[in-house]
Each structure stands twice: as C-alpha cells, then as structure tokens.
Structure 1
C-alpha cells in the first residue's frame, strides 16, 4: 500500500463513514437509523444491511466484494433470527470471513451492528 491514497468519507466528529485505502474499503459500524419502525432483530438487521449496500454502492463496491464482517449482537439469543436475515441478504457464492460477538451497543434500543471490510 505504499503511496496509496487514503480517502475518508465524512461521518461525524468521532469517525468517518468509510475509509478507502487503495483497493480496500473499511465501513464504520452500521446500525438501523433509529427509525421508529425498526424494533425487531429482523427489522434492525434488514435496515443495517441496506445501509451497508448503500455505502458499498457509493464507493463503487458491492456485497459480492465483502471480505470480512463482524456482527455485534446485544443478545446471542437473537443469533438464529439475525442469521436468517443475513442468509437472505448475503450472496452464497461470495461469503466473507465473519464472526459474531455479543456486545453492549451504543444505544439501549440497538440489537445489532455490522462492521465490514470490502474490496473496491
């Protein structure tokens, strides 16, 4: 990556939405937007994954180019339900490396957060 240009997409005072370094794209953790309708794990996961799609498209990438995804769940009891959403979203021919951990998330209403790295 010597001489590779680093491009940061504005986020907020604490982080960038995305950082591109050469052909690698690093996304900030994606959660549902806080919309009042996203209460269930299915709704929250669907919305967060749609946000990943939008960011990947903005950067000229796609879910088929995902390299690694870390999933943070508020409660591992939600794993199977979240995984059903994931499996309907992800391209089975282009599976990224993945891990899922239980974590305390930034807001009490959040059930899931996805952090992703992709190729561009």
Structure 2
C-alpha cells in the first residue's frame, strides 16, 4: 500500500508549492517589470500586456534581440488602454536562465529585455 500512496503524496506536495510569478510588459514604457525574476521547477510565469503593442519571445544571452529556435513567442498583443485581458504563461521546466525580449520594432534595442533565473 505504501508504494502506491507515496507517489500520490509527492505529486500533491510538488504542485502545492508551485508559485506564480507576474511580469508586466510595457507598463510605463519600454520595460518588463520586473526584468529579472527567479522561479523554480513547476512555477509559472505570466506576462501581462500594456499599451500599445508588445510581445515576449525567448532569446539568448549572446543574442538578446533574436528569437531562438524552438523558443516561446507570444505574438504581438495590441492594447489600447490599461491592462489587456490577454496574458501569456510559461511553465518553468528547469532552473537554467531564460532570456526574453520584446520583438516589436526597436523595443529590444531600447532595452526591453529580461531574464528568468539569472546566472
């Protein structure tokens, strides 16, 4: 009996401790807020979009303004005012650094970049 209940208990405990993190995209200018966050395996990170048009795409440290193959990309979210009802959520699968940027126009070149689990 114990061999069957232990995995269930471990599974429930693992999901009970998963945290949710929020990152604002474009609130107050060409910024992610916060632009650095730490998350553990199983946590989720949700991006909340603000005016005008922004997105979030995975990049790398060496090429912060270029999308990586097989990375995530929210697409552009158009917002006229306030916070959009549209969000974009990723689940953390490991604690390696995850670099991201806004692919809209020259937003990245203006500093709109961020990292989850900085080195």
Q: TM-score, normalised by structure 2?
A: 0.34
Greater relative contact order (Cα < 8 A, sep 6+): 1
Q: Considering only CA atoms, is the larger Rg found in Structure 1 or Structure 2? A: 2
